[in-house]
Amino acid sequence: MIYTFRSVDWDTYRMDTRRPHEELEPADCEISTVDGALKTLVRAGVLPHADYDYDKFLAHRHAVRELFDIPWTAITPRMQRLIYAVNAIVQPINMLAAGVYCGNTFISNAGAAVGPGACYSAKSLIGIEIVPEEAERAERNVRLIDSTVVARVIAGDAVGMAAEFPEEINLLYLDADGAGGRGKGVYLDIVEACLDRLPTGSIVLAHNSVNCAERLQYYLEFVRDPANFRSSVNVILDPEGLEVSVR
Ligand SMILES: C[S@@+](CC[C@H](N)C(=O)[O-])C[C@H]1O[C@@H](n2cnc3c(N)ncnc32)[C@H](O)[C@@H]1O
């Protein structure tokens, strides 16, 4: 069964990618839209519950706004809240994020375990970025929030690094846009590279499930096949979308 969460205004809720912190709607609208998405994820058996700490999330958002160098991002405020909330609920011990650019997407995940929004302790949270200069900037950004090295950004190809990660991966975040013409199709390569280390209950988040749906066709068919993932939900709360799948 294919599940979808679709907010009524998903296609008119738009951000200026050069103004990552601009408020797009009143806080209660953002919260209720994300709560609706989380409840759909619970109904689909992806998440155990839909509760997370709103104040901790705001502390995380504030720190990112104050400290991060973000030239552009396509992560809307709703998406930032949703990704943080999923991590706060699932509490992954090990998390890999593939294709993190300046680190905004990575810290939306890792911020549930490090910095002022932390609500649990993780072991290893790794962002992987193929462009070395971007990986360096992302790592500089992350160090301003996380004084430990639990969260870190490494330069490299996410396919190879996912294949070599030696432990179970409890949450995998996909946002790489591919090198060598692979584009977003690289998501499937990354998942296949670490499938044997995605235990039952692990979560895979795939950004751009809406605006790159065509390029992600084989990836989406794979995660929506019950032989591979127990359940998968297309969360459409902005024009980019997030596919949330559980093993
Ligand atoms: C679309 S950007 C992610 C930005 C993020 N969506 C945001 O809005 O902040 C994709 C990133 O993936 C990186 N990338 C592409 N292929 C990769 C690969 N195979 N491994 C790791 N990173 C990769 C690119 O260099 C780029 O920085």
How do residues 197-234 score in pLDDT, each as one tens digit?
999 999 999 999 999 999 999 999 999 999 999 999 99
Q: Could you read off the pLDDT of 118-128 as tens digits, one per residue? A: 999 999 999 99
pLDDT at 30: 98
Quote the CA–CA distance of 16 and 62 in Å, as a whole number: 19
Quote the CA–CA distance of 16 and 234 in Å, as a whole number: 23
Across 24-51, average pLDDT:
98
pLDDT at 178: 77
pLDDT score of 181 more than 80: no
| Residue matched to tokens 């946002």 | 175
Q: Would you tell me how many other CB atoms lie within 10 Å of the CB of residue 246?
A: 21
Report CA(12)–ligand 1 centroid distance (Å). Answer: 25
Across 19-38, average pLDDT:
96
- Whether 74 is in the pocket of ligand 1, judged by its Cβ within 6 Å, is yes
pLDDT at 84: 99
Among candidates 80, 130, 131, which has minimal Cα distance to 106? 80
pLDDT bucket at 56, cuts 50 / 70 / 90: very high
Q: How far is CA 46 from the centre of its chain?
A: 15
Pocket test for ligand 1, best of 72, 75, 79, 130 (most atoms within 8 A of CB): 130
Report CA(28)–ligand 1 centroid distance (Å). Answer: 31
Quote the CA–CA distance of 12 and 9 in Å, as a whole number: 5
Specify whether the CB–CB gap between 233 and 46 falls below 8 A. Answer: yes
Report CA(147)–ligand 1 centroid distance (Å). Answer: 24
Q: How far is CA 57 from the centre of its chain?
A: 15
The ligand 1 atom nearest the CA atom of 128: 21
- Whether 63 is in the pocket of ligand 1, judged by its Cβ within 6 Å, is no
Q: Could you read off the pLDDT of 82-118 as tens digits, one per residue? A: 999 999 999 999 999 999 999 999 999 999 999 999 9
Q: Would you tell me how many other CB atoms lie within 10 Å of the CB of residue 32?
A: 12
pLDDT at 180: 62
Structure tokens at 225: 């096949």
Return the DSSP state at 89: H
Residue identifier of the C-alpha nearest atom 13 of ligand 1 = 99
Across the strands, what pairs with 98?
Answer: 128, 174
Q: Could you read off the pLDDT of 132-169 as tens digits, one per residue? A: 999 999 999 999 999 999 999 999 999 999 999 999 99
Report CA(175)–ligand 1 centroid distance (Å). Answer: 6
pLDDT at 154: 98
Q: Is the dihedral of CA 140, 145, 148, 149 positive or negative?
A: negative
Quote the CA–CA distance of 208 and 204 in Å, as a whole number: 13
Q: How far is CA 246 from the centre of its chain?
A: 14
- Whether 168 is in the pocket of ligand 1, judged by its Cβ within 6 Å, is no
Pocket test for ligand 1, best of 14, 16, 100, 164 (most atoms within 8 A of CB): 100
Quote the CA–CA distance of 172 and 83 in Å, as a whole number: 11
pLDDT at 200: 98
- Whether 157 is in the pocket of ligand 1, judged by its Cβ within 6 Å, is yes
What separation in angstroms does the CA of 109 have from each of 104, 120, 179?
9, 12, 23
pLDDT at 185: 87
pTM over 0.95: yes
What does pLDDT average to over the chain? 96
Share of the chain above pLDDT 70, in %: 98
pLDDT at 182: 67
pLDDT at 243: 98
